[in-house]
Chains A and B, each alone.
Chain A
Amino acid sequence: MTKPSPFLNPGQTTKAGSLAIVHLSRDNLVPAILDDTVGEVNGYAEGTVINTRFGSFPHSTLIGQPWGSQIRASVVDTGSRGRKRKVRDDTDEPSNDTEEAASAKKPATAASGFVHVLPPTPEIWTMSLPHRTQVVYTPDYSYILHRIRARPGMRIIEAGAGSGSFTHASVRAVYNGYPTAAEDRKGKVYSFEFNEARFQAMEREVKAHDLSDLVQITHRDVYNDGFLVNGESPEADCVFLDLPAPWKALPHLSRHRPATEAVNGQDQPWVSPLRSDRAVHLCTFSPCIEQVTRTVDAMRRLGWMEIEMVEVAHKRIGVLRERVGLNMPGDRGSNQSPYDVAEAVNRLREVEGRFKEFHGRNQKAAKSANDDDVDMNDSVEASAAETNGAGREAAAEPPSDNAPSVPSFMMGRLVHRTEPEIKTHTSYLVFAVLPQEWTEEQEAAAFEKWPCGKESKVIGSLDKETRKKEKRELLKGKKKRKSEK
């Protein structure tokens, strides 16, 4: 058995050679296979280093840490790199031992900057993975896996693998331990991809994430060549198709040789990739309605039941403090307009008062020197500006009921907003079920084992009339009791 995947069982601490997620900020998560190479790597004496805008983090500082740890940035000498690039950055601390790299260099902690290190999960992976294609995001894949009943011990077919976002989510769903022997039947993902480069990238990834025993990735055009692996059936319980033309793949997902295939290869026995002794759940994922129409038509022809099409509308929601008021601190995120009508009126009164005061004064002055029009206009403007400023100052004095000690993070009203940009459409999800076959022989055997004719009582629903009658009687009874009281 290989070591368990960090996705499924990360253990308690980060390990060298294993995937970890470096959390920089909400939308900036960096996956890294931790490397404990001692000595210079890429010109860094500290070994492999992750450089971020929050500082530099040599892998050695990330290894062997409890998951979730906050890791301080290190002072990393970039001298040799800098020289190689001929861009010498003067702000870096000078260092003398750059060139004697062969020995390990213990990184020195920097004065500021930090990251957190998290264990990988499909959710984080989906946010941080290298995109090779469009991917299926958490709101869609969570619902899909739920609906197609991808549960521990199930076998799931997935095509195409693309960037592996869905692959990681589905392996977690079906995982029920690593197989201990070749014939040991465990939950497994059978993934197919026909693009060579993507197939190879997936293979590398699956290996790097210690998922090789749980994800079988096959280089295949499934439209033409179906879903068998080495001629054998995956015996899938559930299927997910994220392909441009699902209807071209569907005939392969039959219980019997589909009519379309009858011409070629008639002589060989046909093997179904589906599990024969239970219903199989399927989901296809297509962005366009025309694809849906064709897919659903094919599903109906091929005997899929309970066909249903849905869309998932998902929103991320931001939470913020809406700080509106003349007395709010003048930093970003505050809106220094009146909090309410009272505040507005108060301020207007103040402006008014100051204006009158000034005007009164001025009128007196005007009486004494009434030939100075221009001057007067200027001073009115000036005074108005002054009044504005003064008004603001006056309003900035906190109202008596608002204790002056309220910290800024508690000011204002707590509100929420939909994220600035919503994914209004990802794809249409078509679900369907293919029941297992049930032959007349099987039915006869079951009837034999469970004979009829000795029914003792009736279960289930009564028809409307009987129910109404019962209700009427119940109500009557209640009324009686009430009147008795």
Chain B
Amino acid sequence: MHSLVQPDAWVALKLPNGTLRVLQVTPNTTVSLGKYGSFPSNLIIHRPYHLTYELQDKREGENFSRLRIVPASELYADILTSSASSSAPGSPTLAPEDDDADAELPTGVEYSLVDATSGAVVAKTDRAAVLDEASALRQTLSVEEIEALKQDGTNAGKDLIAKLMLSHTALDQKTEYSLAKYKLLKTKKYIRRFCVTPLDVPMFDHWLLEEKDPIKILDMREEMIALLGCWANVHYGGVDRCENATDEEPQAESTALDHSAGRWLVVDDTGGLLVAAMAERLGVLYPPEKEETLETYLESQKPPQQKEAASGPKSSKDEPDAEAPEEATEDASMQEEAKVEAQIDETKETDVKAESAQDPGSHGINPKKYPTGGPRHRSNDLAVPYAQSNTLTLLHHNSQANLSFLRYYDFDNTNPAQPLTHPLATNLMTLTWLQLLDPTADTAYMAEPPAVTPEELRGWKTNRRGNYHRKRRRWARVRHVVDTTRAGGFSGLVVASTMDPISVMKHAVPLLAGGAPIAIYSQSVEALTALVDCYSIARRTAWISNPPEGAAGKTPEELETWEGNDEFPLNPTLVLGAALQTSRVRKWQVLPGRTHPLMTSKGGAEGYIFTAWRVKPAEGKIEARGKGRHSKRRKVGE
């Protein structure tokens, strides 16, 4: 994973001015960096990540710019010399106060031309050359002249910078510091360098937050994602498959690790960012990589005979595996079906909304009534592709989950022909709140397509037959997901949602295994303080000592699905250790003699995290041990 840039991979290009360009590296295209220039995409395909490139001038007879890897020694040359000189006793220290002082340039000192945020030197000055040109170039450059220089585009912009500097003002009247500052500004604008980084979850979040659309991800910062994943204890939890496993090993281990069932329940209103982050922790986010050349790539892009590639390059590229060919041949018809389905879903969606608005879950869950596993024997249409463990189960409020951000990871949950080679196809399940709380009201769950005898099937047209199989498969999947979810036993709950967390907890907590951790993100603190208050000590004590009407005399099992009333919106004994926290990362600039926190950073929603554990209350009345008694007891204990 993320060793070499794969064809069609999504990457983030870091530009000298600190911005990111996120794009998909399509082979045989020209990547434009705007004012910084452009280069062929093939030059970064199957090349390592994290290298810093410089666009070179076009070679004679070539119509494209080649790239040069800029070594670290070159990037840092000036910082390192300046740190050496500033640590030497008696050398002048640089401070912002020097800015406008008319100090003379110390001789033999290089200018520190560094990018303040990354600490990297963006360009190196050659003092001799600078001075040489200084005498030749005294006047300020006009805008036209700058443009003309840019057109030249020579020497990766360094010449331009040097000239701009010299034209700015007489060199010897500038202090080292102000000169450096000026050049830095110019450098950020004109140097033709970039760095290729993988669009993994940390980078993706960073980009969404800083440049794209922080609202869509509820302002969820990296530190929040990290805390959620840890507190919900989300980790690889099974043996089914993992993107890093070099060889598929037999499933023997699964019996040894019985109940390894790493199954996490997720509620995600961040367009799939949370799912992506948790999938990354499970090791099921990235599709497998393969060795390719342009030739084999183009070959694989060719549509299968007789049929145009209906879904574009992606789905036909991710080829065969035992089950895939069948899926692939049905591709075209399925695309059609999908459209129809999407329409149905759209009309349905409004219904679901209406329903959940007026009645947010008055349906209790009784997991035991819905045993897992459908009647598989009838036909292998009913064999579901889902993994037993190391899975995410997403509860969503539209009839189709909004996981649009997963497209950056080659996964499209709205595509029924999503190839099974993507780990999310087998390890991510989705269901609606309606399917969870009242499956009988859900058409997809209820409408079992009739079983047709093989003889009858053979008589059908291919299209109709494909349609039939597809419907039955879809139904089997819905059944499986709904039934296994309702059976509960989840290893943890992770939430980043705009929905009232109390309502989420009411229905999600009963689905959790004992001891399972809970982690809920909210943009603002109020929703979470209300949730914590449901579990206050005073409330729990009251629940135990003086149970509300309807709760008295019931067993703990019966009270798992407590409906809630004004005084006890939730059963306060099902959750332990309810706590709230927040965290914020502050960035610093580290430069010799100029180390300090950055002056500005993003505001927006602060973001808070609720954490707790699911517990199983003991049967019968239980009394906490009082204060008065324990002083004597303690003596015994110590």
Q: Closest Cβ of chain B: how far from A200's Cβ, in Å?
A: 27
Closest to B26 in A: A459
Q: Is the CB of B636 within 8 A of A51?
A: yes
Binds B, one of A100-108, A215-223, A309-317, A351-359: A309-317
> For the complex, is A11 an interface residue (Cβ under 8 Å from B)?
yes
> For the complex, is B618 an interface residue (Cβ under 8 Å from A)?
yes
A446 CA to B280 CA, complexed, in Å = 29
> For the complex, is B64 an interface residue (Cβ under 8 Å from A)?
yes
Question: Which residues from B are CB-within-8-Å of A114?
Answer: 618, 622, 624-625
> For the complex, is A133 an interface residue (Cβ under 8 Å from B)?
no
Residue of A122, A296, A451 near B119 (CB, 8 A) is: A296
Q: Is the CB of B588 within 8 A of A311?
A: yes
- Given the known interface contacts A70-B617, A315-B581, A438-B47, the answer about A51 and B637 at a Cβ–Cβ threshold of 8 Å is yes
How many A-B contacts at CB < 8 Å in the complex? 377
Question: Which residues from B are CB-within-8-Å of A37?
Answer: none
| Contact-residue bracket for chain A | 35 or more
Question: Which residues from A are CB-within-8-Å of B26?
Answer: 459
> For the complex, is A443 an interface residue (Cβ under 8 Å from B)?
yes
- Given the known interface contacts A67-B514, A305-B120, A428-B588, the answer about A112 and B30 at a Cβ–Cβ threshold of 8 Å is no
> For the complex, is B227 an interface residue (Cβ under 8 Å from A)?
yes
The majority secondary structure among interface residues of chain A is mixed
Question: Which residues from A are CB-within-8-Å of B27?
Answer: 450
Interface hub of B2, B588, B592, B623 (most chain A Cβ within 10 A): B588
Residue of A123, A278, A308 near B587 (CB, 8 A) is: A308
> For the complex, is A23 an interface residue (Cβ under 8 Å from B)?
yes
Q: Closest Cβ of chain B: how far from A81's Cβ, in Å?
A: 8
> For the complex, is B311 an interface residue (Cβ under 8 Å from A)?
no
Binds A, one of B162-170, B333-341, B525-533: B525-533
> For the complex, is A415 an interface residue (Cβ under 8 Å from B)?
yes
> For the complex, is A209 an interface residue (Cβ under 8 Å from B)?
no
Within 8 A of A (CB), among B564-608: 567, 573, 576-577, 579-590, 592, 595, 597, 608
Q: Is the CB of B30 within 8 A of A457?
A: yes
Within 8 A of B (CB), among A410-440: 410, 414-416, 428, 430, 433, 435-436, 438
> For the complex, is B28 an interface residue (Cβ under 8 Å from A)?
yes
Residue of B236, B617, B630, B637 near A152 (CB, 8 A) is: B236
Residue of B239, B262, B532, B588 near A319 (CB, 8 A) is: B532
Question: Which residues from B are CB-within-8-Å of A257?
Answer: none
Interface string of B1-42 (1 = CB under 8 A from A): 111000000000100000001011011111111110010111
Closest to A73 in B: B625
A175 CA to B79 CA, complexed, in Å = 39
Interface string of A1-15 (1 = CB under 8 A from B): 100100011111000
- Given the known interface contacts A87-B635, A289-B595, A312-B583, the answer about A152 and B244 at a Cβ–Cβ threshold of 8 Å is yes
Interface hub of B230, B525, B533, B616 (most chain A Cβ within 10 A): B230
Question: Which residues from B are CB-within-8-Å of A464?
Answer: 34-35
> For the complex, is B231 an interface residue (Cβ under 8 Å from A)?
yes
Q: Is the CB of B539 within 8 A of A409?
A: yes
List 24 contacting pairs A-B, 8 Å CB cutoff, sorted by A.
A56-B637, A70-B617, A89-B635, A112-B624, A114-B618, A116-B615, A143-B226, A143-B585, A149-B200, A177-B236, A278-B3, A301-B76, A311-B597, A314-B584, A316-B580, A317-B525, A319-B529, A321-B536, A414-B533, A438-B51, A446-B46, A455-B28, A455-B29, A458-B30
Known: A305-B50, A455-B29; 10 extra A-B contacts, CB below 8 A, are: A53-B625, A55-B625, A70-B573, A70-B615, A112-B624, A147-B202, A296-B119, A306-B195, A307-B590, A410-B567
Hey, which bits of chain B sit against chain A, CB under 8 A?
Answer: 1-3, 13, 21, 23-24, 26-35, 38, 40-43, 45-52, 62-64, 69, 71-73, 75-76, 79-80, 83, 118-120, 195, 197, 200-202, 222-223, 225-227, 229-231, 233, 235-237, 239, 242-246, 249, 253, 256-260, 262, 280-283, 292-295, 513-517, 525, 529-530, 532-533, 536, 538-539, 542, 567, 573, 576-577, 579-590, 592, 595, 597, 608, 613-618, 622-626, 629-630, 632-638
